Copies of this chain bind each other. A is one copy, B any other.
Amino acid sequence: MPLTETIKRPSLHEELVDRLRNLVVEDALKPGEKVPEKALCESFGVSRTPLREALKVLASEGFVVLQANRGARVATVTRQELENTFPVIARLEQLAGELACDHIDAAGMAWIEARHDAMAKAFDARDRQSYFQANQDIHQALIHAANNDILKAHHKLLAARVRRARFMANLSDDRWAQAIEEHGRMMEALRRRDGESLGQVMKQHMMNKFAAHIKAIEDEADEGPDK
């Protein structure tokens, strides 16, 4: 084992990949829009080379699509894509649940318990913002506890694809209560270190979330597009 950690200096393009991905995930760059190369260069204060390198990476991650000689556009997440993505995420979460039970340590357990409490409080207060944060923390902590970097990396990419800011709004009270209940079952299984159960619940939890998203999208479509 090495005596010293190798120093990490985030290179320019790496930083840009993260920043740009955030712009997409946070919905600052809307799906279908063309990525304004020039404007972003100025706004970030870099030249086109590193920015374009970053775009190539984002394209391979699926956040933008490159059109030959016509630049990059923010990828649109189609219904088909959602339907393809969720089952994959669900399986990864299932695996994460199983592994987490094998590998989680006391500190990780304490953190999850704390965030679980915070989530419950946020639910009681109907505080969506806090709820989503705590919820995300828990899922991330479980993924982290699985102690599998490959799993983590792929999960992160897929989760980012699906997590668009606007989904935050689409949470019915029914689904919210159901989600809380599922999280309760997750905690039970985790406390028992019952990986099999935790995996099952997490998988199902994700698929239910999926169904809720689809329903929200369809309701929205029924109301008619607003512009």
Contacts and interface: CB of A to CB of B under 8 A. Distances in A.
B154 A154 contact: yes
State the majority secondary structure of interface residues on A. Answer: helix
A91 interface: yes
Given A49-B49, A68-B9, A87 B57 contact: no
Contacts of A158: 150, 154
A85 interface: yes
Contacts of A4: none
B87 A17 contact: no
Contacts of A84: 148-151
Contacts of A95: 87-88, 91
Contacts of A6: 67
A33 interface: no
Interface of A: 6, 9, 11, 13-14, 17, 49, 52-54, 56-57, 59-62, 66-68, 81, 84-85, 87-88, 91-92, 94-95, 99, 148-151, 153-154, 158
7 contacts: A11-B66, A81-B150, A88-B150, A91-B91, A91-B92, A91-B95, A154-B154
